[in-house]
Chains A and B, each alone.
Chain A
Amino acid sequence: MTMLATEAASQAASFPILTALIVLPFVGAIVVAMLPGRRPELIRQIGVLFSGGVAGLAVYLATQFDSHDGGFQFEQVNSWIPDLGIAWHVGVDGISLWLVVLTGVIFPLVLAGIDPHGDPKPYTAWMLVLQAGSMGAFLALDVFMFFVFFEIVLVPMYMLISGWGYSERKYAATKFFLYTMFGSALMLVAILALVSLGSPETGLTFDLQALAEGQELATNTARWLFLAFALAFAIKVPMVPIHTWLPDAHTQAPTGGSVILAAVMLKLGTYGFLRFGLYLFPEATVYFAPLLVTLGVIGIIYGAVVATMQHDLKRLVAYSSVAHMGFIVLGTFALTTQGISGGVLQMVNHGISTGALFILVGMLYERRKTREISELSGLQQAAPIFAGVFTVAMLSSIGLPGLNGFAGEFLILLGSWETRRWWTVVAAVGVILAALYLLWAYQRVFHGEPTDADADTPEMRLAEFGLLAPFLAAMVFLGVYPAPVLERIEPSVDRLVSHVESHSDYLRPVDAPVVLPHEHSDDSHDEGGGDH
């Protein structure tokens, strides 16, 4: 900490909190790497200390965040490679804020509460690297810097899956690595093309804002570049049909890895769409929106249908992720304030509910050494509290009003209704299917008569409940009172939509006031706000 403090003092009068969010876990990783490997408890404590410090900073950031400002806050620019116009440029706005908080908070929970079942030292170090990399990706306002962090996170995740995963871990880790590398290779080409073609006359720049506000790319060029970015993000989300790395990665990853993968890493894709897709290529976004919305809706239905038929509980949750992420894509490319705000909220929600489900499945595996649905039965009889916690996480994932999932899903669907009516009608079917696959799985695993092995399944321990309690609290809080979160998201979303409007022929549906009787028919508006 002292090292960081001096560094901070020498840099600026005000504390560079965003840089600290990135650097602190890196420092932690180095410290952990230097600790003696024979003291696992100490390693864990140091890991929790550093990642917990990040959590504290992130939460502090949220309290200091100005909810009326839609622009970037806490910005910091330091030149890095000036000849190429590359800078260490960080900033946070309403779109990244809650992902930063989520990334901050979830790592210490994972490190404190989930046993890696393997050598804890490299595990903890890689986790901290992962936290730093994710933070960097969410905070970067320089395209090059973003790319670096976007790539950095692959390494620790690859290590976590291949080192601490289950039997098929090598295959899954390699698949995950190659798949995402393929996407980012294209993105790198697109970034270089964007910078060389889109930089202002004053010189090369990788600065996101300069490129977004100042570029004058030919329409076709921008569309090609958008596609390259979109492919990289679509793999990360992942969107159907380039999703099959996800079930393998999730199923083979250790519990902690699965939680981070779902809660943080998938969001790099949806966040990337917002920050680099919509912002850099507004015209192309509007042009390709029908395609992306369609893929999103296909993901919702397809992910749910395939999830229903899974035999492995973890694979089922993985496919439910495909469906949930489809909702976020739908909200994003609905291009309305409600749709995108709902999408941003849902990124956080999905991290909480799916994260909790992965933790629970992990605990189940620790108890029974199996995740096969057919080998489990009647667990509610043996472990009612475990079943109760699972039920809440399940209902949150299903989108029960009063819990967090509903707030996001509802806003997404309401937002997409105005611009993508028929897509919304189909997407809403996903709400039925979510109930089907989760309740059916629950019925088979938790209901029914327990066998001997089931009856001996240990109940949830206090420490385990302690790990899940923050998740449950977040589910209830975000379900009942999401207003403080939403009001910090909205100004930035509004600004982004306005940006898209001013750079394309898209106009969001008019925010008409309540129509009073006998004024005029409202049907003309309905069609006017229709599809583009």
Chain B
Amino acid sequence: MLELVWLIPAFPLLGFLVLLAGGRVLGEPRAGWLATLMSAGSFAATLVVFAGMLGEDAQDREFQQVLFDWLPVGNLTVEAGFLVDPLSITMALFVTGVGSLIHLYSVGYMHNDPKYSKFFVYLNLFLFSMLMLVLGNNLVITFLGWEGVGVCSYFLISFWHTRESAAVAGKKAFVTNRVGDWGFMLAVFLIWGSLHTVTYTEINAAAGALTNTTATAISLMLLIAAAGKSAQLPLYVWLPDAMEGPTPVSAMVHAATMVTSGIYLLVRMNYVLSDDALLIIAIVGAATALFAALVAVAQHDIKRVLAYSTVSQLGYMFLAIGSGAYVAAIFHVITHAFFKALLFLGSGSVIHGMHDEQDMRYMGALRKVMPITGATFIVGWLAIAGVPPFSGFWSKDEILLAAWEQPDIGPVLWAVGLVTALLTAYYMSRQVFLVFYGEARWNDPRPEGVEGPESEVHPHESPWTMWAPLAVLAIAAVAGGALNLPVVGDWLVLEHFLEPVFAHPHHFTSGTTTKVVLAVIAVAAGLLGIAFAVQVWLRRKIDSSRLEPKFLTEAMYVDATYAKVAGGPGTKGFDLAATFDKVVVDGAVDGTGRLVRKVGELIQPAQSGFVRQYAIGVAIGGIAVVVWLLSGTV
């Protein structure tokens, strides 16, 4: 059954092609249903391949399928091939699973959009690219998927392209990601230059021969690539703006799947990552986690909170990788996909019900009119806040434990992670209370300059295509922790399943007491965050204005500084080059032309047309020749 792997990306590819050619003819809702069906087919194919894999012994769970040679030149062979192993199939399972739910959700969400079928064209192309990314058997096929998801993300962010901000955000996402791609390409070249292969299995077999310097260089280039795609410092700036896209896109592309590509890439390349690089990865992750959580505290837009939250959670995953706990990273990728997709889709449902209002200051009390959305959102909140036994608690706990055990600066990393956990619990509680509790502020007057809703807002629950995925995701967000439970003896399903993929399987060294104490502290931090939010946002006992300083609302001015540099010295420099080209380089050419013409004009009198004058010239020349000849004979 493993040889059916090609079917997994084939379904969405087929969907893409059919919809591209005939999407408009199919129209709403058939185009949406077709795309959803293709996505579900892909999920089914993944399940079949997964079942086939489970039939093999643990150490034999590695299967390659080569379709054809893509770029064969000299000793370079880049195959169009798939690698099925526990890691790729784990990724494919949640990508197609969550992806299908989001396809279904979009059928309802995109209702009445003039570009309804176009949306599903992009969505299926995205799914195809994402599957190529995780299933490719070499770095270049992964890069194909990597760029493919990037360009789909660009299409989808700027989906409502008449809106200037959406167009700008799309471009920004693509260009920022290209900075990461630069790192990706150099990593490929470094590996090629030292190992003469780009195929994963061969890289893994030969990675031991890499010197520490080369391995570190490769790792850092991979980190740049991953920081671009997975929105880490300093390349995260595109992700908050990516919320300009339709909300299902935010859920699927910019929370559950695409942004975890960087984590996948680093885990996939775990044989190559050097210890020095791992430390840097951990620091980048911890710093990003804390930074984004701080910023999330002061956002008013319901999706921007979730966007910064995503950046922060991705930081946790980098922290896990940096601590060598690859399973914990993938575990968190999965649980995060569940609860963050849930939260985003929930926010979409809210925005849908609120007639496109995204400012949380004008929401409130929505759980009464949107009971299913409210209940599922609350599940997502408890999961991300790390409240046991919800899924987020288990994966976050593993990461914090791994950080604690990190040999160099473990306790520091752990402390940063803990503060982040507290902040996470706080800003998510703030969101839940602002949106679903308190008083209804739907029709409050907006301050001057802010556009309010056109007519009075009457929030309503969303159609079943939208709330059904919420329900499924809520169940997953509750129970997802079961994938890797450290409590019941040997119930570490994910860890055992993934173990063959790693060069150095990670083992926790702490005793049970330490583990329990750390877990209790983490839970306490989460509860503290919630309790504080209750005081501020539910009971209104504490003045909230000082808790949202401009410094944080403006994301510590990082993005603004980038924009200033790009718009100021950056543009000036580029302009200077263009002016240089026009004035100096081309000016020199035109100058030469003019000079030649001037010289021509100067000697033009010589060509007077008077025979008399020519005769004199000939005579003088003749005499000169004679003189020269004579002088030669002397």
Contacts and interface: CB of A to CB of B under 8 A. Distances in A.
Interface in B69-127: 69-76, 118
Given A400-B148, A448-B161, A514-B202, 14 more contacts: A306-B574, A336-B74, A337-B74, A342-B73, A380-B161, A402-B148, A413-B185, A432-B181, A435-B178, A443-B171, A513-B196, A516-B206, A518-B208, A526-B193
Nearest to A489: B73
A279 B459 CA distance: 75
B551 interface: no
A401 B581 contact: no
Interface string A506-531: 00000111111111111101100100
15 contacts: A241-B585, A244-B589, A306-B577, A400-B147, A400-B148, A417-B193, A432-B175, A448-B161, A448-B164, A449-B164, A511-B196, A514-B205, A515-B195, A519-B209, A526-B194
Given A410-B71, A446-B161, A447-B158, A512 B196 contact: yes
B144 interface: yes
B369 interface: no
Interface stretch (B210-218, B261-269, B464-472): B210-218
A420 to B, nearest CB: 11
B209 A305 contact: no
Given A513-B196, A526-B214, A414 B188 contact: yes
A207 interface: no
Contact of B162 (A395, A431, A447): A447
A449 B162 contact: yes
A384 B186 CA distance: 36
A189 interface: no
A77 interface: no
Interface residues of B, number: 62
Contact of A309 (B69, B181, B575, B589): B575
Chain A contact residues: helix, strand, loop or mixed: helix
A313 B197 CA distance: 41
A449 B163 CA distance: 7
B318 to A, nearest CB: 22
Given A401-B143, A490-B73, A431 B193 contact: no
A447 B205 contact: no
B214 A310 contact: no
A522 B209 contact: yes
A76 interface: no
Contacts of A429: 182
A447 B161 contact: yes
A486 B76 CA distance: 12
Given A516-B205, A525-B194, A490 B70 contact: no
Contacts of B68: 481, 483
A411 B573 CA distance: 31
Interface string B224-254: 0000000000000000000000000000000
Contacts of B291: none
Q: Which of A395, A401, A407 has the most CB of B within 10 A?
A: A401
A517 B206 contact: yes
Interface in B591-612: 593
A436 interface: yes
Contacts, number: 185
Nearest to B144: A401
Given A244-B586, A514-B196, A428 B167 contact: no
B179 interface: yes
Nearest to A240: B585
A338 B73 contact: yes
A413 B98 CA distance: 37
A431 B182 contact: yes
A306 B581 contact: yes
A440 interface: yes
B168 interface: yes
A178 interface: yes
A432 B179 contact: yes
Nearest to B20: A388
B74 A338 contact: yes
B92 to A, nearest CB: 19
Given A337-B73, A337-B74, A523-B211, A514 B162 contact: no
Interface in A72-123: none
Contacts of A341: 73-74
B578 interface: yes
Contacts of A309: 574-575, 577-578
Interface in A185-209: none
B171 A439 contact: yes
A3 B400 CA distance: 84
Contacts of B162: 378, 381, 447-450
A425 interface: yes
A401 to B, nearest CB: 4
Contacts of A442: 171
Interface in B392-410: none
B168 A435 contact: no
Q: Which of B68, B154, B194, B581 has the most CB of A within 10 A?
A: B581
Given A428-B185, A431-B181, A407 B175 contact: no
Contacts of A447: 158, 161-162, 164, 166-167, 170
A428 B182 contact: yes
Contacts of B196: 511-515
A431 B228 CA distance: 15
Contacts of B143: 401
Interface string A371-405: 00000001011001000000000010000111000
B167 A443 contact: yes
B140 interface: yes
Contact of B186 (A306, A337, A406, A425): A425
B161 A435 contact: no
A175 interface: yes
Contacts of B181: 431-432
B289 interface: no
B338 interface: no
Given A481-B68, A514-B202, A514-B206, A522 B175 contact: no
A417 B72 contact: no
B114 to A, nearest CB: 10
Contact of B206 (A486, A490, A515): A515
A308 interface: yes
A413 B73 CA distance: 13
A69 interface: no
A244 B185 contact: no
Given A244-B586, A515-B195, A522-B209, A482 B71 contact: yes
Contact of B74 (A245, A381, A490): A490
A523 B194 contact: yes
B214 to A, nearest CB: 6
A440 B574 contact: no
Contact of A305 (B73, B161, B574): B574
Interface in A471-487: 480-483, 486-487
Nearest to B74: A337
A381 B154 CA distance: 17
Interface string B267-280: 00000000000000
Nearest to B141: A401
A418 B179 contact: no
Contacts of B171: 439-440, 442-443
Contact of B73 (A401, A406, A411): A411
Contacts of A436: 175, 178
Interface string A328-345: 000000001110011000
A524 to B, nearest CB: 10
Interface string A426-465: 0011011001100110110011111000000000000000
Given A308-B574, A413-B189, A414-B76, A483 B148 contact: no
A435 B585 CA distance: 25
B577 A414 contact: no
Interface string B352-366: 000000000000000
Interface in B6-32: none
B537 interface: no
A400 B140 CA distance: 12
